[in-house]
Every structure is written in structure tokens, then in C-alpha cells.
Amino acid sequence: MTENQATSSFRLAYVPGVTPSKWIRIWEQRLPEVPLTLLPVTVAEAEQALTGETADAALLRLPVDRTVLSAIPLYTETTVVVLPKDHELTEDEELLVEQLADEVIWHPQDETIHWETRPGRPGYERPATTGDAIELVAANVGLLVVPQSLARLHHRRDLTYRPLVDAPQSQVALSWPEQRTTDLVEEFIGIVRGRTVNSSRGRTAAAAEAKPQAKKERKPAAAAARKPGPKPAARTRGGAGAAKRGGGKPRRRG
């Protein structure tokens, strides 16, 4: 951790339905000295939080303005239809868009599904929020198509949902300002991508520090390899055989 990291904080915005808790736990384990502040924002506020420097990064739904923001797609959400529990369409485990042709489908102003052609019949107005649309569905007025995470977020006992298998899907991404890719943003990118501590950017620095040490450790071995060994003994006249025959001692004459 750098000195700047130890004295700063990280601000993470997130839109409804996105649950950053698993990544937050990893952050707290790896960077306990750097406080992480969570900023819940609406769909409309997410990009503004980044461009206005209210947040350092955000977990939001694509698309984003790629001219000023970077984004890494994280996962794709299942699209579902929210409907009353006693609705006839609940008889099917999965639904197709064509089955909604005769139904009133609400499209709230914070809608996160991007349609080329909207299904069903339009409602008399566009509810301001997904929560408002849920209230209309609970009153048996129309249906709502949302990512599954939002259906769970707005769970009610009198409502249920079914997967809409041929509908567009929503992608959740990590996004941050292109010109502000800080060390802390890089740290969070590593966390959401599943990098371990040893595979993070710190591993490169550690390897660089280890190289000079490795060279120092090899020097004694190299010197030992160059050190001359013992000189061979000088050969005596007559060779080894002569020495052997003479027993190494002169004979006395009688």
C-alpha cells in the first residue's frame, strides 16, 4: 500500500438491485486502512456521480458514455416478468415476449431494459420509478419487465415473477472516469475480476525487488566455480610404478 492509499478513501456508487457486499468484504480484508464509502444512487444519478467526482467508481447497468467513462462488464442478469400470483401466465415456468402481446406493460422512467420494440400494450403513462410500477402491478393493473435483481428487491407476497427467455438482458458493470484511473480504482478492478493478492499489481513490484537479491545470492556460487582447485602433485622420475617397486625406502647394502 502506498502512502496516498493509507491516507485516502474510496467512494463506490451502486444502482438499485446491485449488491456489492462480497467485494466490500474482500476490500476490507486487503485494504483495512482505506475506508470504503457506499453511495446508493438512482439509474439517472449513476453517471453523474462519476463525471461530477462524487464517486470514484460505480456499479451500474450498461450502457454508459464510453467517451468519458471506462467500464468492465461483470455479469448479465436474467430478465423476468413481474405479475400477480393469481395471473394466468403464472401457469408457465418460463414466458416468451409474444405471450405479453395482450397485456399492459409498464415502462417506468428508470427502466433498465433496452427494447428495440416494446412488448405488449403501453400503459396510460410512464411511472416515475420501478417501485411505482410495482405498485400498479400489485393493484392488478398491467405487468412489468425488469432484471431479476429488481424483482427481488421489490418483492411482495402478492406478486411473483417468471423468466422472459427471449427478452433483452441487462448487464452490470464496474465503471469509472477514463481520466481518473487511480491506484485505488485499480485495486477494486482486481477485486471484482477475482485476482488474488499474489496476482495483483503488488506482485510485479515484489518480483522486481526480489531480482537484485537473487543476483547477490548467485555471486558466491559463481566465485566458487571460478576458484582454481588444488594443483596436481608433481610426477617423480620413474613414475608411480617405480615408487611402488621401491617401497619408498632405500635398500641397505650388506
**Domain boundaries for CATH 3.40.190.10 within the chain:** 3-76+171-203, 79-163
* Lowest mean pLDDT, pick from 93-107, 121-135, 236-250: 236-250
- 79-163: CATH topology is D-Maltodextrin-Binding Protein; domain 2 (3.40.190)
Helix (H, G, I), strand (E, B) or coil at 164: strand
pLDDT, one tens digit per residue, over 82-99 is 999 999 999 999 999 999
pLDDT at 199: 65
pLDDT, one tens digit per residue, over 188-224 is 999 999 988 776 554 333 333 334 444 444 444 444 4
pLDDT at 207: 36
Type of residue numbered 90: T
Question: 3-76+171-203: what CATH class?
Answer: alpha beta
For every residue of 19-72, which 3-state class applies, written as one string?
Answer: CCHHHHHHHHHHCCCCCEEEEECCHHHHHHHHHCCCCCEEEEECCCCCCCEEEE
Q: Give the pTM.
A: 0.74
- The pLDDT of 224-237, averaged and rounded, is 51
pLDDT, one tens digit per residue, over 33-78 is 999 999 999 999 999 999 999 999 999 999 999 999 999 999 999 9
